[in-house]
Structure 1
Amino acid sequence: MKRILIADDHDAVRCGIRAVLEQRPGWNIVAEAADGRTAFEAALEERPDVAIIDFFMPRMTGVEVTRGIKKHLKETEVLIFSAHESEVLAHEAFQAGARAFLAKSDANRLLLAAVEALLARRPFVGGRYCVQPRRELEEVSEGHARLSPRERLVVKLVAEGYSNKSISAILNSSVKTTETHRASAMGKLGVNSIAGLVRYAVRAKLVEP
């Protein structure tokens, strides 16, 4: 039995999502929440396989809820959905730890596929706006997860034009350590040039283009 949590501050939206999900045998809605704090607490108690979280909610945003869930419940996959079709919101959702982003206007058509993908441990991005950047969003999300906090900071500083020596001074570390972090980040991201690091940093919104 697959356990699913639904969080949205509109009763009608939650009812609609429940109706779609209940089409699948073996999928059980274990909790519903009308605000972010309740959603987070329900997730900790119920430990769902998938949490479907609205991006904009009172008390805690969907991004804040997602960060909390991923900190305490490593096995719970999160789908963030929004009434706004925005690549920026999709990036924020993925950076917070969500593995799926869906526009509410596409929920009837794509919700089942999105949940199926998460249950299979695959990312999912839906919406007309993201047909082209879908693979790019997945790559950014996967790259973000692979990098350590220090490696992400080094990538950001490299993209901003700092030299290894300057980065070492900022981080209070040796040049060799900085070079090691940079080389490790390049290996994890599959890039072989500074230009590749800069492109990733821009796509991940670590720096402004």
Structure 2
Amino acid sequence: MPTTIILADDHPLILNGTKAFLEKKWFEILDTATDGNTAYNKILKHQPDVAILDFDMPILNGLEVAQGLKRNLIPTRVVLLTLHKQEALLNEVGNTIHGYLTKDSALEELEDCLNHITKNNTYIGKKLKNNIHFSSDTNTAINVLTATELKILKYLDKNLNSTQIAEALFISKRTVEKHRSNIIKKLKIDSSSHNALFIWLKQHPNLFNT
């Protein structure tokens, strides 16, 4: 079955263009909205797989809609589109929202983003990843990680364990452990210690500068 979607944007040209693009890619657009409150009510009514929301909308912005869905345990996954990079929104990926793209690259990356989040992963646009800063000596190694792996690594850097990370990302502990194993392999970390990733992070104290 095709992925079902609610679209919301207060710019009709962008809204209609995104709708036409996704329909050509065989996604099913259940409904559209031009303000956050209408979008929220339509998401409650239709319970789509994904809601693609403009951040800056009247009445409720995209993040406020996402926060309301989370409070009410609505399983719809939220992708936010913005005109500008915002650090606060980057920090919401994997927590309140599942995908984050800038509008200038949305059509290039939207299909890839939807494929990621419908497989229980998160997605940060390629241009936005430039807002996740790393120390230069480990930059090359870090670039091999996916957006979800980066998010998990950041949580580990905050001393969260797998159970806490699973709760924060709404995934199973087993999935977190699988991601941790993949991170260790990609970063070529000695896995002889159970705390290998924590040890590695302590060896790179300035890894995350956000």
Superposition TM-score, scaled by structure 2 size = 0.64
1:108, distance to aligned residue in structure 2 (A): 1.8
What whole-Å deviation, never above 9, does each CA across 1:14-39 have from its counterpart, x for those lacking one?
Answer: 101101101122x2111211111111
AA at the equivalent of 2:99: A
What whole-Å deviation, never above 9, does each CA across 1:47-84 have from its counterpart, x for those lacking one?
Answer: 01011011111111111111112233443111111011
Name 2:15's counterpart in structure 1: 14
Measured on the aligned residues, the alpha-carbon RMSD in Å equals: 3.4
Provide the rounded CA distance (Å) in 2 between the counterparts of 1:199 and 1:140: 15
AA at the equivalent of 2:111: L
What whole-Å deviation, never above 9, does each CA across 1:179-209 have from its counterpart, x for those lacking one?
Answer: xxxxxxxx99x5359968x869964xxxxxx
Provide the rounded CA distance (Å) in 1 between the counterparts of 2:129 and 2:208: 19
Provide the rounded CA distance (Å) in 2 between the counterparts of 1:8 and 1:122: 24
Provide the rounded CA distance (Å) in 2 between the counterparts of 1:102 and 1:194: 28
Superposition TM-score, scaled by structure 1 size = 0.64
CA distance 1:126–1:100, change in 2 (3 Å): same
Q: Give me the identity figure in percent.
A: 25
1:22 partner SS: helix
Equivalent residues of 2:35, 2:57 under 8 A apart: yes
- Corresponding residue pairs, total: 164
Name 1:31's counterpart in structure 2: 31
Which stretch shows the higher mean deviation, 12-21 or 112-121?
112-121
Could you tell me which runs of 5 or more consecutive residues in structure 1 were left unpaired when the two chains were aligned. 150-186, 204-209
Provide the rounded CA distance (Å) in 1 between the counterparts of 2:28 and 2:166: 34
CA distance 1:75–1:129, change in 2 (3 Å): closer
AA at the equivalent of 1:44: L
Provide the rounded CA distance (Å) in 2 between the counterparts of 1:136 and 1:90: 18
AA at the equivalent of 1:120: K
Provide the rounded CA distance (Å) in 2 between the counterparts of 1:31 and 1:140: 33
Q: Which has the larger radius of gyration?
A: 1
